[in-house]
Amino acid sequence: MKKEHLYSKKWLSFYSLPLCAFFLLSNFIAIPNYGRTYFVSPKGNDLNPGTKGQPFQSWQKLSGLLLPGDTAFIRGGTYYGNAGSQSIFYHLLNISGNSKNAVSIFNYPGEAPVLNLSSINITYPNPTALLIENCNYLHLKGIRITGLKQIRNGTGISRGMELRNASHNLIEQVEIDHLEGYGFIIGENSNENLFLNCDAHHLSDPNTQGGNWSNANGFQCTGGTKARGNIFRGCRAWWISDDGFDLYGVDGDFLFDRCWSFWNGFKPGTFIPVGDGDGFKLGPQSNSHPFKDSVTRILTHCIAAGNRGSGFDQNKGDFRFLLKDNISQSNGSYGFMFDYIHPHRSQQFLGNKSVSDKFPRRGDETNGLGNSWDKNFSQTLYPLNINSLAAKRTREGNLPQPKYITKSLE
């Protein structure tokens, strides 16, 4: 199969297709597995054979065991990780399927497995709750990670889940919350992964030296990582002390589809301002980027609301963006902040709305149509009930239906 990227003209014509198209474009083919089945339970033992009646006890046991087509079910209950290792509590290593048969690690149907690290005294600067390393064509679904604290002296920041040298993976219905650090991290050489219906909320870094509260992000790929072709769909980030979605310093191509970012830049659970608080921080990138004149960021049907900073922020991303049918509401700075680069690059803004932002739009370099700041825009805008964005997901894991103060926007 020929690989397509966000900067290709063919790819751009597919940005509104359903999920199956995204699977094909990211070269992740979700075909039912026909391999072996294993089980993990808090009541199990890693010396067991991993059957339903005699399950393993730790997720770690699955590394080096699962082959293409295999499935592992994680039973409900609380897991505590490897307390003997303060750097990585669970390490899924060298688990790879292929384009015809993925490896699946799922929550057992109807059950909720939780990795709870709240009782751990952190002595390592940058601990990671779950590291997924050297894994490809892995489908991980239905787990929760919570409670990992930051080292008290502030010399590092904790991590919920990190992908490292991991491509063509599907991360679905994973929740990371009440953690002192980052939520989801895309690391080096991690390409064409899909994050589907994942939540990051109540994240903070209260102890960071020289900048407390200003580093925790919900979903991030930062620091010059050369990640390509990653997709976020149906994901939410809220009550995070810094930014909801952060691509600072990354020149890769990304798609955000139906993602929500709200109430960021505050101490979690309050409206006490602390970090930057951008809903979607979308740059910058290195000067060596080979596709400056091509679209490398696509955001469609996303919502940024009630953030301390801007809703959608170019942040010196020196390339082209496509933003279509997004809503920015009640943000403390600009709804759409796209005026960093001079001379301007031509951007595509189509059908975007700014509702009750401090400033709706900065930058006049847009090739736009149907945006609320256009002079001929005449549609009546009704504000979102931001509380409705934090409602419980549907039984299938999809986003809740947003509510509007008066009536739904058409």
Quick check: 290 pLDDT over 80? no
% residues pLDDT > 70 (the chain): 88
Q: How far, in Å, CA of 28 to CA of 22, rounded?
A: 8
Cα–Cα nearest to 145, from 167, 174, 169: 174
The reported pLDDT for the residue numbered 41 is 98
Quick check: 75 pLDDT over 80? yes
Which residues touch 229 (CB under 8 Å, ≥6 apart)?
Answer: 5, 6, 26, 191, 192, 252, 253
**pLDDT for 143-188, tens place per residue?**
999 999 999 999 999 999 999 999 999 999 999 999 999 999 999 8
Q: Which CATH superfamily is domain 22-372 in?
A: Single-stranded right-handed beta-helix, Pectin lyase-like (2.160.20.10)
pLDDT mean over 329-345:
88
Quick check: 311 pLDDT over 70? yes
Q: How far, in Å, CA of 87 to CA of 343, rounded?
A: 45
One-letter amino acid at 83 equals A
Kindly write down the DSSP assignment for every residue of 301-349, as one continuous string.
S-EEES-SS-SEE-TT--SEEEEES-EEES-SSEEEE---SSSPPPEEE
pLDDT band at 317 (very low <50, low <70, confident <90, very high): confident
Q: How far, in Å, CA of 255 to CA of 194, rounded?
A: 10
Evaluate whether 152 touches 207 at the Cβ level (below 8 Å). Answer: yes
Q: Is the dihedral of CA 349, 226, 399, 241 positive or negative?
A: negative
Give the DSSP H/E element, type plus range, for residue 88.
strand 88-93
Which one has a higher pLDDT value, 102 or 223? 102
Instruction: Give the three-state DSSP class for 209.
Output: coil
Give the DSSP H/E element, type plus range, for residue 133.
strand 128-133
Quick check: 205 pLDDT over 50? yes
**pLDDT for 11-61, tens place per residue?**
334 333 333 334 334 454 455 567 999 999 999 999 999 999 999 999 999
Q: Judging by beta carbons within 10 Å of its beta carbon (0-12, 13-18, 19+), is residue 85 exposed, middle or buried?
A: middle
> Which of 196-210, 277-291, 305-319 bottoms out in mean pLDDT, i.e. has the lowest?
277-291
**pLDDT for 231-284, tens place per residue?**
999 999 999 999 999 998 888 889 999 999 999 999 999 999 999 999 999 987
**pLDDT for 97-152, tens place per residue?**
999 999 999 999 999 999 999 999 998 899 999 999 999 999 999 999 999 999 99
Q: How far, in Å, CA of 344 to CA of 341, rounded?
A: 5
Q: How far, in Å, CA of 1 to CA of 18, rounded?
A: 19
The reported pLDDT for the residue numbered 219 is 98
Work out the mean pLDDT of the chain and round it to a whole number.
88
pTM value is: 0.91
Q: Judging by beta carbons within 10 Å of its beta carbon (0-12, 13-18, 19+), is residue 197 exposed, middle or buried?
A: buried
